[in-house]
């Protein structure tokens, strides 16, 4: 009896490596916030940052610890917290690789953000406007409240 040739198939399982793309892609413009409560409550101390700048898990974490929000107490009642959390998570950034144990809480510390704002142009604007950080988006991006950042 003849032994048939065996076809040996080795399956290489490819891990999903999408990191370079995911971390360098920047969003020029993002959808504006349409929820009144978010605009009012999250725009009370600074520009209401658009949810598309951070992944859902970041918003979830941030909303869970509003009583200690970057050194401030930004806590809200249960119902407001729930409505805002739902809105931010539903409109969050999608398709990005996220470290679930340590999700980013600052837009200004994201890699693409540092890249965009590390050039001379942004640094000069920072000095000229006498700002000490990039948190005040609207100081340089006139359309920031409309989600428009591709304007200078």
Q: C-beta of 97: minimal distance to ligand HEC in Å?
A: 19
Contact 134, 110 (CB under 8 A): no
Q: Which is nearer to ligand HEC, 6 or 20 (CB)?
A: 20
Please give the Cα distance from 71 to 95 (Å, whole number). Answer: 30
Helix (H, G, I), strand (E, B) or coil at 14: coil
- CA torsion sign for 97, 106, 24, 49 is positive
Q: C-beta of 27: minimal distance to ligand HEC in Å?
A: 6
Please give the Cα distance from 63 to 68 (Å, whole number). Answer: 10
Q: Which is nearer to ligand HEC, 22 or 108 (CB)?
A: 108
Q: In this structure, what token pair is assigned to residue 125? A: 């604007």
Please give the Cα distance from 38 to 88 (Å, whole number). Answer: 8
Q: C-beta of 17: minimal distance to ligand HEC in Å?
A: 24
Q: Which is nearer to ligand HEC, 74 or 98 (CB)?
A: 74
Q: C-beta of 132: minimal distance to ligand HEC in Å?
A: 8
Binding site for ligand HEC (CB under 6 A): 26-28, 41-42, 44-46, 49, 53, 66, 69-70, 72, 74, 84, 106-108, 116-117, 121-122, 125-126, 129, 131, 133-137, 139-141, 149-150, 152
């Amino acid at each position: 009896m003849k032994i048939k040739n065996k076809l040996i198939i080795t399956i290489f399982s490819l891990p999903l490596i999408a990191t370079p793309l995911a971390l360098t892609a920047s969003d020029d413009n993002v959808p504006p916030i349409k929820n009144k409560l978010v605009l009012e409550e999250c725009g009370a101390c600074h520009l209401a940052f658009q949810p598309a700048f951070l992944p859902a898990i970041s918003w979830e974490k941030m909303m869970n610890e509003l009583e200690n929000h970057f050194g401030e107490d930004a806590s809200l009642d249960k119902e407001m917290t729930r409505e805002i959390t739902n809105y931010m998570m539903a409109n969050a950034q999608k398709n990005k690789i996220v470290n679930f144990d340590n999700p980013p809480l600052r837009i200004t510390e994201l890699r693409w953000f540092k890249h965009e704002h590390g050039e001379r142009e942004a640094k000069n604007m920072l000095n000229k406007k006498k700002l000490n950080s990039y948190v005040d988006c609207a100081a340089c991006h006139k359309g920031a409240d409309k989600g428009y950042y591709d304007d200078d």
